[in-house]
Amino acid sequence: MKKKILAMVLSAAMAATMLAGCGGSSTASTAASTAASKAASTAASTAASTAASTAASKAASTAASTAASTAASTSGSSSDLLKGTEFEGVTAKGTYTFNVVVKSFQSTYWQAALKGMDQAVSELGSDKVSYTAQGPNSESDIADQVNMLNSAISAKPNGIALAACDAESVKDSLSQAMAAKLPVVLFDTGVAGAPDGSVAATIATDNSKAGQLAADKMHEILKDKITSATAQVRIGEINQDATATNIQQRGLGFINEMIKLVIADGKTVAVAGNEYYVNAAEGANGKEADANVVIEVAVPAQTTVDLCSTEASKIMSKSDTIGIFGSNQTSAEGVLAANSNLSVLSSDATKGMIAIGFDAGSTIKGAITDGTMAGAVTQSPLLMGYYCIYALTACANGSTIKDMPMDGYWYDSTNMSDPQISPNLYD
């Protein structure tokens, strides 16, 4: 009898810790400061009505991305960040609760996004707007995320924010949400081929452009090495997966832009490695055996730093590798972990291999400061979270909203403290 009771208690503990362990909940009310919320509510109440905000959204969607990038420089009040965007003047017309499903809490990137959400909630009024955030243990736990999404839909909140680990797997859930008339806002990554009408808006970095930016910068540094090479040279890319739309876009953005630049240099280029990226690349004009430049793409079995590090080691051990790109925080940290044994990286192309990362985090920032990593492209997770809550509020109010593509920013040791860049460099 004792054994049976204990077994039941342990099973209950197992179930309970699974909920605690699988994801976290953070209620937004913890973040608000009374002064800020008072100021925000008086500012919001004197602002325009719904009619004005829909008119502003039509005019402002093209200006939204440039406004967002200049707004990033000011860490100022709500009206500054929202000025010129479709969310200017949005206030909560009722009490709303939202469910946020992030890709995972694996990297500090998501903590930064939640901070932005907390800021939005404190401005809109934590008594009016609140959210709960959940995410699976790792970004490869796709099934876990789909379960969380489905539970979130059945909880019937006023809106759902989603950063999908795998575009294909969430399509069914998106149709369900549409049938239940639940507005869904995608942030950080879109869902390619989402059912029509199921997504209210996508607030994400233009990931293709961000990948292109990384390729442009790497090519700038490596141009001489590529044009004067007498033997084959290799450029590596580590993508943490081949399933999430944003990683696919970033990876392909880098590959396709690098192909264009290398061909413009008069060289032949081939793509090798992970089948998804090899097949989706465009414009390669050579074969792996004899092309002047080989772009080698590796994807680990799971989205963890140690597996990314093993794949990076493989590419970085090759004597003809001149550059390597890690397309998100986890894979960039994998590159740095591999380098701790290989010591091949440098920000000077004549002295070593060039590494370019993505996102921020203290490991990557440290590596850029001390010259191991040449630079990285950062997103604005803070702003994404911030606009996401406003987007959900606008939807819950009944307005229609538009996509908000955001910019990625290149940063290296020279501009890390620029006012436009530094707020995005989370720890």
Partner 1 sequence: MEKTKKKSVLSLFSNQKYIVILVVILLAAIFMIASADFRKYTTFVTLLDMSYYYVLMGIGVAFPLITGGVDLSIGTGMVCYALVGGYLVRNAGVPVIVGILVALLFGIGIGALNGVLVAVMDLPAFLATLCTCMITRGLGSLLTFKSTVPWPTDKQPGGWFHTIFKITLANNTKIPLGFLWVIILTIIMAFVLKHTKFGRYVIAIGSNKEATILSGINVKFFHIMAYVVCGLFAGLAAIPYASAIPTIQPGTGAGVELDAIGGAIVGGVSATGGSGSIEGTFFGVYVICLLKVGLPFIGLQANWQQVITGAILIGTVMIDIVKKRRAVATGQAVA
Backbone angles phi, psi at 277, to 5 degrees: -70, -35
CA atoms within 13 A on the CB side of 168: 3
Q: Which stretch binds partner 1 (CB under 8 A): 70-78, 171-179, 213-221, 330-338?
A: 330-338
**Does 237 participate in binding partner 1 (rule CB under 8 A)?**
no
Q: What does the DSSP 8-state code read for residue 380?
A: -
Between 14 and 143, whose beta carbon lies closer to partner 1?
14
**Does 415 participate in binding partner 1 (rule CB under 8 A)?**
no
C-alpha distances in angstroms, 328 versus 200, 388, 423? 26, 21, 18
**Site size for partner 1 (CB under 8 A):** 57
Written as six digits, the tokens of 404 are: 């908000």
From candidates 41, 78, 91, 104, binder to partner 1 by CB under 8 A: 104
C-alpha distances in angstroms, 370 versus 77, 243, 304, 354? 34, 33, 24, 14
**Does 240 participate in binding partner 1 (rule CB under 8 A)?**
no
Written as six digits, the tokens of 240 are: 């943490």
**Does 287 participate in binding partner 1 (rule CB under 8 A)?**
no
Give SS3 for 102.
coil
Between 362 and 400, whose beta carbon lies closer to partner 1?
362
Stretch 134-173 residues interacting with partner 1 (CB under 8 A)? 136-138
From candidates 89, 300, 357, 375, binder to partner 1 by CB under 8 A: 300
**Does 213 participate in binding partner 1 (rule CB under 8 A)?**
no
Distance in Å, CB of 373 to partner 1, minimum: 12
State whether the Cα torsion 360-363-366-368 is positive or negative: negative
**Does 318 participate in binding partner 1 (rule CB under 8 A)?**
yes
**Does 75 participate in binding partner 1 (rule CB under 8 A)?**
no
**Does 8 participate in binding partner 1 (rule CB under 8 A)?**
no
**Does 13 participate in binding partner 1 (rule CB under 8 A)?**
yes
Partners of residue 100 on adjacent β-strands:
133, 161
**Does 305 participate in binding partner 1 (rule CB under 8 A)?**
yes
Stretch 349-368 residues interacting with partner 1 (CB under 8 A)? 361-363, 366
Segment 215-219 long-range contacts (CB within 8 Å, at least 24 positions apart): 215/253, 215/254, 215/255, 215/257, 215/258, 215/261, 215/325, 216/257, 216/261, 217/356, 217/374, 217/375, 217/377, 217/410, 218/258, 218/323, 218/325, 218/354, 218/356, 218/374, 219/258, 219/261, 219/262
Binding pattern for the stretch 26-65 against partner 1, x by CB under 8 A and - elsewhere: x---------------------------------------
Between 83 and 318, whose beta carbon lies closer to partner 1?
318
From candidates 55, 63, 155, 301, binder to partner 1 by CB under 8 A: 301
Distance in Å, CB of 136 to partner 1, minimum: 8
Strands (DSSP E) contained in 7-128 are 96-101
Q: Which stretch binds partner 1 (CB under 8 A): 9-17, 31-39, 229-237, 383-391?
A: 9-17
**Does 243 participate in binding partner 1 (rule CB under 8 A)?**
no
**Does 239 participate in binding partner 1 (rule CB under 8 A)?**
no
Segment 106-109 long-range contacts (CB within 8 Å, at least 24 positions apart): 106/137, 106/138, 106/139, 106/303, 106/330, 107/328, 107/329, 107/330, 107/359, 107/361, 108/329, 108/360, 108/361, 108/362, 108/426, 108/427, 109/328, 109/329, 109/359, 109/360, 109/361, 109/379, 109/381, 109/426
From candidates 50, 65, 69, 310, binder to partner 1 by CB under 8 A: 310
From candidates 3, 34, 46, 350, binder to partner 1 by CB under 8 A: 3
Query: What amino acid occupies position 384?
Result: M
Written as six digits, the tokens of 423 are: 């707020």
Q: Which residues bind partner 1 (CB under 8 A)?
A: 2-3, 6-7, 10-11, 13-14, 17-18, 20-22, 24, 26, 104-108, 111, 136-138, 273-275, 298-302, 304-307, 309-311, 313-314, 317-319, 333, 336-338, 340-343, 361-363, 366, 370
